[in-house]
Amino acid sequence: MLLKQAFVICFLFVLVFKVPAQKNLDFGLFLGTSYYLGDLNNSRHFYNPHVAYGGLVRYNLGSRWAVRASIFGGGLSGDDLDFNFKYQRYRKLAFSTPIVEITGQLELNFLPYKIGDKKHNYTPYVHLGGTFLVASYAIQPYQPAIPFGVGFKFNFLPRVGMGLEWTFRKTFTDGIDKVVWFKQLPTTTTENSYLFNKQTGYYHQRDWYSFFGLFITYQIKQSGADCNTYR
């Protein structure tokens, strides 16, 4: 249901821009993976990857700048028993949750780029924006996040572009993985005395998640001349 609502928002976004600025608008689909970073997984990238998918709409301000709205869905999970640290194997916590997010972002192309342009037909880029996340089984299901990342996009056909993107979302919660700082580990033996008064998680370690994958976009109408303001 949440993903359907998100696609409705994306459709309305298309309607808003289609009439006055359709020559600068392209839309497309994303397919890749999502994974989690937090108390259960501190640094292993592409740990427990889940299938991720979604849609995006991009409004090109010129050959260098673009704004984009996207709706992505996927999953996040983690398990202490996947790691060999003694502390984690004693803690034995695990979680799994589906996620849906709506993101708005600003993209900066390193090189001039335009779909359908034979000369300016590829570019690496970076982006930054804002995200609203719904993680259904988290302690706090509704969360803002800061998305940022890098990508590479190129022309595939006259009105079709493709790209590869790797992005991160910094959240403001420690509850996606349900490992919160204010809980303490139960200890009953002298063998585990080093765990006395040790909290389950860490207060300053917020949860992160990432998307990595491919997207393909179609431009509704080929662009005309660039606006000099954004050159």
In this predicted model, what pLDDT tens digit does every residue of 149-203 receive, in sequence order?
999 999 988 889 999 999 999 999 888 988 875 555 555 555 555 554 455 656 5
pLDDT at position 15 over 60: no
Whole-prediction pTM: 0.80
Closest CA to 9 of 60, 73, 56: 56
For residue 106, the one-letter residue type is L
pLDDT given at position 91: 80
Per-residue model confidence as pLDDT tens digits over 23-73: 689 999 999 999 999 989 988 999 999 999 999 999 999 899 999 999 999
Terminal CA-to-CA distance of the chain, rounded, Å? 41
Residue, of 115 and 214, whose pLDDT is higher: 214
pLDDT given at position 90: 78
Q: What's the CATH number for 2-18+27-230?
A: 2.40.160.20
pLDDT given at position 23: 64
Secondary structure class of 117 (helix, strand, coil) = coil
In the numeric block, the tokens 């660039």 are attached to 226
pLDDT at position 1 over 90: no
Q: Residue 223 is encoded by which pair of tokens?
A: 């662009």
Question: Taking a C-beta distance cutoff of 8 angstroms, is the pair 77, 56 a contact?
Answer: no
Q: What is the dihedral of CA 37, 88, 51, 164, to 10 degrees?
A: 40
For residue 28, the one-letter residue type is G
